[in-house]
Amino acid sequence: MLPLIIQPLSGISEFIASRAYSNVFVLTDENTVKYCYPVVEPLLRNHVLLKIPAGEPHKTLNTCTSVWQQFTIHEADRNSLLINLGGGMVGDLGGFAAGCYKRGIDFVNIPTSLLAMVDASVGAKTGIDFLGYKNLLGLFYEPQKIFLHTDFLKTLPHREFRSGMAEVMKHALIADKTLWGKLPLKFLLQNMENVSDLVLQNIAIKSKFVIADPTEKGVRQALNFGHTIGHALESLLLTTPQPLLHGEAVAAGIVMESFLSMKVGLLTNDELEAIVKAVSLNFDLPVLTEEQHATIIHYLKNDKKNREKHITCCFLNGIGNYSLPHYVTEKDIFNALEFYNDVAT
């Protein structure tokens, strides 16, 4: 069962000793090597430290190639271990690099951001962006363990913490109305009574979907709520001077896909207003031009979740429940984008 792979950070020494790995690599970015690696380093035996640039623009094949080159230079064999110490970008890219190298070496995740703790590190999805499309290349490849240390959240800028809260919102909206009701008006770390409990509660929600549908053929698609349009928006702005963080794009996607849920009668106006209020209070979202609307449609037409060339979304069936799959038209998307612009203005 997936929850059994979750352990406190202190367990990593015993885990490595029990496996007798021939090589151990630690993948960090320029932020986690500074703020998080000093906490982890004393727990590890001899290892090779790998550093990559931080941020989604570097979640690319070129960065993966640099990781594979280091594996090769240090003569990594199939009994090697990769430790991903970072947020969602490091975990996604590192897991993909591990899954491809010599047809697969073991990896573990030590998530350092809220988004990675509650979502990205759980569920065996790995991948990189390609040709401007979010996670176009990827594998389902399970980490051996996930080691949690919620004190790492104290190192996050507020914007990064808030980004992770978008995934918490998503979990509450699709699966836990009680959790939705308990979320504070403002998403600040100091407003969370027990952030460790919040993390574990969200891991439990995601785990239920993953265990029921490991390869996303059925109910696991509910976890994509907010992500279909959100990923397109994230891709659109990725190379601009003001890119969105993943959670920010998901928050925008939640607004639009909630609007579409309301339009088909699955969500009440009051519920939509509550969702819009939560997003508006916590996220600074950009207004989009008509030209950008058209580009978002272009990205959506190449979304990896499409079926028979139909754009596919998860809708809400009231707060705390989901409904899927739903095919949406270009007209639906344009209407959702107009609604979003009204909210963002």
Per DSSP, what are the bridge partners of residue 107? Answer: 82
Pairing of strands 6-8, 146-148: parallel
For residues 163 and 115, is the Cβ–Cβ distance under 8 A? yes
Q: Tens digit of pLDDT for each residue in 174-187?
A: 999 999 999 999 99
- The pLDDT, as a whole number, for residue 309 is 83
Q: What mean pLDDT is predicted for residues 36-58? A: 96
Mean pLDDT of the chain: 95
> For 189, which DSSP code?
G
| pLDDT, position 4 | 65
Q: Give CA–CA dist 325/262, Å, rounded.
A: 15
pLDDT over 50 (residue 1): no
Element containing residue 234 per DSSP (H, E): helix 227-237
Alpha-carbon distance of 107 to 100, in angstroms, equals 12
Average confidence (pLDDT) over 26-33: 98
Q: Which 8-state DSSP code applies to residue 178?
A: H
pLDDT score at 307:
84
What are 23's strand-pairing partners?
Answer: 80
Please name which of 37, 24, 36 lies closest in space to residue 70, comparing C-alpha atoms. Answer: 24
Note the pTM of the prediction, 2 decimals. Answer: 0.94
Q: pLDDT category, 192, cuts 50, 70, 90?
A: confident
| CA–CA distance, 86 with 56 (Å, rounded to integer) | 12
Q: Are 118 and 171 in contact (CB under 8 A)?
A: yes
Q: What is the DSSP string of 28-67?
A: EETTHHHHTHHHHGGG--S-EEEEE--SGGG-SHHHHHHH
Is omega for the bond preceding 325 within 30 degrees of 0, making it cis? yes
pLDDT digits (tens, 9 = 90+) for 87-124: 999 999 999 999 999 999 999 999 999 999 999 999 99
Give 181: exposed, middle or buried? Use CB within 10 Å, 0-12, 13-18, 19+: exposed
What's the confidence (pLDDT) of residue 172? 98
Provide φ and ψ at 302, rounded to 5°: -110, 15
Whether the domain at 2-154 and the domain at 158-344 fall into the same CATH topology: no
Closest CA to 109 of 90, 133, 134: 90
Work out the end-to-end distance of the chain between its first and last CA atoms, rounded to an integer number of angstroms: 45
**Is 2-154 CATH 1.10.10.10?**
no
Model confidence band, residue 3 (pLDDT cutoffs 50, 70, 90): low
- For residue 195, pLDDT over 90 is answered with yes
Given this model, what pLDDT does residue 338 score?
A: 97
DSSP-assigned letter for residue 307: B
The phi and psi torsions of 288 (rounded to 5 degrees) equal -105, 150
Residue 224: the pLDDT is: 96
* Predicted local confidence at residue 26, as pLDDT: 98
Q: Please report the pLDDT score of residue 239 as a whole number.
A: 87
For the chain, percent of residues with pLDDT exceeding 70: 99
> In 102-210, at which residue ranges do the beta strands (DSSP E only) sit?
106-111, 125-130, 133-140, 146-148
What counts of helices (H) and strands (E) characterise the chain? Answer: 14, 10
Question: Which tokens sit at 70?
Answer: 């280091």
Closest CA to 141 of 155, 159, 127, 156: 127
CATH architecture designation of domain 158-344: Up-down Bundle (1.20)
Fill in the DSSP letter of residue 302: T
For the chain, the structural domain boundaries read 2-154, 158-344
